[in-house]
Structure 1
Amino acid sequence: MTKEQYLIEKNNQLRQQLTPENEKFYSDLLLYVRLHSFSQDQEAIESKLLEILQDILDAQADYISAKQYFGKDPKKLADDLLRQFPKSISKFFKGLAFVFVIYLFFFSLPSMTLPNSTFDIGTFALVGLYVILAIFLSFRYLGTTIYKIDSKSGSKLQKSISSFLIGVVFVAPLFLILLFVDTPFQITINNGSGIGIILFWLAVGIVLFSKQNNKKIWLPLAFFYLLLSVLGIAMRLPGNIGFFLSNTNTGQTIDLIILLVALVTFFITNFFVVKKVEAQK
C-alpha cells in the first residue's frame, strides 16, 4: 500500500465518526479538492485533507461544528488548500497517460472477441481523445457545481433526470463516433496478432488487479475480462476449435450465449459486491 492509499483509507475510516452536518461539510470539501487537484501532488493533498478531518473531529468533540470552526465559506478553505500545492505538468501528462491506458484496456479487449476483425485506428484515436476530454469536462463541471447548487433544492426525481440528461450529453457523442465515423486508417487483425494483443492486455489486467488493495471489488470485472480473453483466444486457435466457434452457426450461438452469461454474471455479482461494500462503510 502506498502512502497516498494509506491516507485515503485512513480518511475513509475517520469520516465515519462525523456527525451528518459535519460529514456533509467535509464530503463537499473533499470532493471539490480532489476534482480540482488532478495535476497536483496527491499525497500532499491527501495528507492535508486528513489533517482538516482531524481538526473537524477535535472540534466536534468540543461540540463545535465544522462551519463554526472553519467559517461558513468552505469553498475559500478548499481554494486556499489547493493554492498551497503548485500544479505539475508531469503529473498532468501522467494522468493523461493513465486515462488513455485504461481506455485502451476497456475498449480494445472486447473487440478482440471478433476474429479477423477490422480495427479503425482513426476512429479509435478520436474516441480516445473524446473520452479524455469528456472526463476532464466532467471533473470541471462537477467541481464547479459543488458549492453552487443547493443540495436541498429540487426533488430527487428532478435531480435524477438532470443527472441522466447530463450523462446522455457526455456519452452520446462517443456512440455517434463509433457508429458513423469511418477513417481510412484501418487494419485487419489476423488471428496470430489478435492472440498476441489479447495476451498482452490480459497481462496488463493481471498486473493492475494484483496492485488493488480490495480485490473483491474488482473480481466481477476481472472474471468478465478473463472470460472474454479465453473466448477471444479460443476463436482464433488454428484447427477445429477456432473454425467451429468462428465459422459455424452452432459455434457462433455458443459464443453469444457465453457472452450473455458473462455479462449477466458480471452485473449480478457486481451488484452484490457493491451492496456488501456499502454495508461495511
Structure 2
Amino acid sequence: MTSAIYYGETQALVETFSQEDQAYFQDLWDYFNFAGFLYEEKALREQVYNLALDFSQASGDGLTATDYFGQDPKGMADQILENMPKESTRSVLKYGAIVSGIVIFYRLLSDFASQAVLVLKPLVYLTDSILGILAVGLLFYLLRRLIFAEEKSKKAIYVAVVLVLGIYFISEIVGDRFLPAFAWLTVPSPWDTFLITGASAGLILWQWKEEFARAFIFPILSFLVVGFLHRWTLAQGIQNSTMTVILPTVIIVMGLMIYYWFTIRALKKNKTENGE
C-alpha cells in the first residue's frame, strides 16, 4: 500500500474507536507524525496502521487503549522509532523546500504586484530556503516534544515555538533588506507577466486537488490582479490614489478574507465528517 492508503485506512480504523481511545491514539499518531522528518514516511504510516489494526482487534475483547498500549505511550513510541529506517536529511529538505517554495512564490507575487519591473533575487531566495529548512526542523522537534510533555514543560515549549516562528517571520520580512544586491536579474515586460502568470496557473492546477490547498488560490489571484492593475496604471499614466493604493489594497484584503472563509469552512466540514 502507498503512504496515502495507509493514512486513509488508519483514519477509518481510528473512527471506530471510543472517544477516549481516539484521544489516546491520536496523541500517539501525532507523535509519530512529528517524527516524520526523521524517518521514512511510508514505514511510519505502515507502523501506525499496524498499531491501529492490532488495537482494533484487541478492543473487541474489551481492552482500552491504555490497557493495550500502556501508561507510557511516548516510551513505547520511542522504542518503536529506534528500529525505524531513518532519512532525516531527505525529509527535512522536503518539508523545508515546501515551506521555502511557498515563501519564495509569494515573495515573487508581492514583487510583481508592487514593482513596475520584476527583479529576481537569487541570494534572497537562497536565504529563504535556508531559513525554511531551519524553521521546519526546529518546529517539528518542538511539536513532537510537546505531545507527551508535562504541563510545566509545555509552557516552555510553547514559548520556544512562538520564538521560532517570530524570528522566522521577522527574518523573512526584513532580512532581505540587509542582503547585497548580488546577481539580481531584471525580467522585462511582458516576460515577467508570462512568468508569474504561468507559475500561478501551474500552482493553482496543482492545488485544486486538495480542499485546504484550494483556498490559497484566492490570494494568488488577488496579487495577480493587483500586478496587472499596477502595470496598466503605469502604462496609462494614472497616478490618483484610488487606483494606485486604495483599489489594490481592497483587492488583496478581499482575497485574504475569502481565503480565511474557505479555510474555516473546510475545517468545520472536516470536523463534522469526523464526528467531532
Normalising by structure 1, report the TM-score.
Answer: 0.80
The answer to whether structure 1 residue 171 and structure 2 residue 165 are counterparts is: yes
SS in 2 for 1:87: coil
Once the two structures are TM-superposed, the CA of residue 137 in structure 1 deviates from its matched residue by 0.5
Superposed counterparts of 1:247-266, under 5 Å: 247-252=239-244, 253-266=246-259
Write out per-residue CA displacement over residues 137-160 of structure 1, whole angstroms, 9 at most, x where no aligned residue.
Answer: 11101112322225xx89xxx97x
- 8 Å Cα contact 2:100/2:128 also seen in 1: no
Q: Is 2:42 aligned against 1:43? A: yes
Post-superposition offset of 1:40: 2.6
Residue aligning to 1:22: 21
Aligned to 2:150: 149
Please tell me the residue identity of whatever aligns with 1:109. L
Letter in 2 for 1:226: L
Q: Which amino acid aligns with 1:128?
A: S
The equivalent of 1:221 in structure 2 is: 216
Give the whole-Å Cα distance in 1 for the aligned partners of 2:13 and 2:36. Answer: 22
* RMSD of aligned alpha carbons: 3.1
The alpha-carbon deviation at position 205 of structure 1 amounts to 0.8
Distance, in Å, in 1 between the alignment partners of 2:234 and 2:46 is 53
Preserved contact between residue 92 and residue 137 of structure 2 (Cα < 8 Å)? no
Match of 2:126 in 1: 125
Structure 1, residues 194-217: CA drift from partner, whole Å, max 9, x if none?
31331242133134214x3xx333
1:197 and 2:191 correspond: no
Matched, 1:243 2:235: yes
Q: CA deviation at 1:102?
A: 3.1
2:68 is equivalent to residue 75 of structure 1 = no
CA distance in 2, matches of 1:13, 1:245: 60
Q: What is the aligned partner in structure 2 of residue 140 from structure 1? A: 141
Q: In 1, Cα distance between the equivalents of 2:19 and 2:239?
A: 60
- The SS at the match of 2:204 is helix
Which residue matches 1:184? 180
The structure-2 alpha-carbon separation of the partners of 1:247 and 1:9, relative to structure 1 and needing over 3 Å to count, comes to farther
Letter in 2 for 1:219: R
Gaps of 5+ in 2: none
User: Which ranges of structure 1 fall in alignment gaps of 5 or more residues?
Assistant: none
Are the aligned partners of 1:37 and 1:82 in contact in 2 as well (CA < 8 Å)?
Answer: no
Structure 1 residue 173: deviation in Å?
2.0
Q: What per-residue deviation string (whole Å, max 9, x for no partner) do you get for residues 9-54 of structure 1?
A: 2222221222233222211211111111314321222122111012
SS in 2 for 1:148: coil
Task: Classify 1:113/1:277 alpha carbon distance in 2 versus 1 (closer, same or farther; 3 Å).
Answer: same
- Residue 19 to residue 139, structure 1, CA distance change in 2 (3 Å): same
1:70 CA displacement: 2.4
| Partners of 2:219 and 2:259 within 8 A in 1 | yes
Q: Deviations over 1:155-213 (max 9, x none)?
A: xxx97x984x4454123223433336422226355443431331242133134214x3x
> Counterpart amino acid of 1:274?
L
Shift of the 107–9 alpha-carbon distance from structure 1 to 2, 3 Å rule, reads: farther
Give the partner amino acid of 1:249. S
In 2, Cα distance between the equivalents of 1:245 and 1:274? Answer: 44
Task: Identify which range, 124-133 or 57-66, moves more after superposition.
Answer: 124-133
One-letter identity of the residue aligned with 1:203 = A
- Change over 3 Å in CA distance of 1:254–1:97 after alignment to 2: closer
